[in-house]
Structure 1
Amino acid sequence: MKKNMYPLWNENIAKAIAKTENIILNKKHWEIIYLIRKCYDDFNIIPPSRMLFNIIKKKLGKKYSNNIYILSLFPKGIAKQANKIAGLPKSNICL
């Protein structure tokens, strides 16, 4: 079983995926992408929103740990866009 949707994931692949999503990645996007990937690597799960927001709060601060901020970066949300760009597999959880 592959751990990531893109086992050879790198920043160039992320940029290509983001381009198909009409997103130009900047430093703020990369911060979230790498936090998502670290969570997945550390716990072998796709991070649920609450878990991810807690991690963001600890790493980046409270003002960045909310859905409004995430949606400003990834308009389709964590599950449909951020995780995809980060190279994570699709979640089995119903949305």
Structure 2
Amino acid sequence: MTMLATDPEGYLINLDDWSTEAANTLAQSAGIELTEAHWEVLFLLREFYTEYGISPATRPFVKAVALKLGKEKGNSVYLMTLFPESPAKLAAKLAGLPKPTNCM
């Protein structure tokens, strides 16, 4: 397992260090085993970041998922099952993105 340079909250310091292996390592440390459902959200988030240059906070995150993956996946309940506690923060972390700015 590769050592990843992360900040005290576990976000990658160098976004270029992200890979599927890095995502799996970060997920393991969060007690999550990534499934296809996780991956589609993580790749969507990375596209969002490439397009807009930010990690979305909760509302824009849910809206982006709904637009790309449909209403059944673009809702807080579904995203909480994949990314417990704070879906926007945890998904951003696992996608190798910075912490969303207005997430505590």
More off after superposition, 11-20 vs 68-77 = 68-77
The within-5 A match list for 1:7-86 is 7-86=16-95
Corresponding residue SS for 2:42: helix
> What stretches of structure 1 move > 3 A for 4+ residues in a row?
none
1:73 partner amino acid = L
Displacement of 1:94 after TM fit? 4.8
Partners of 1:49 and 1:75 in 2: how far apart? Answer: 13
Corresponding residue SS for 1:87: coil
TM-score w.r.t. the length of structure 2 is: 0.78
How many residue pairs match? The answer is 92
Displacement of 1:80 after TM fit? 3.1
Structure 1: which 5+ residue stretches go unaligned?
A: none
Give 1 or 2: higher helix fraction.
1
Partners of 1:36 and 1:10 in 2: how far apart? Answer: 14
Match of 1:90 in 2: 99
Match of 2:7 in 1: none
Give the alignment's Cα RMSD to 1 decimal.
1.6
Partners of 1:29 and 1:22 in 2: how far apart? Answer: 13
Displacement of 1:47 after TM fit? 1.1
Structure 2: which 5+ residue stretches go unaligned?
A: 1-11
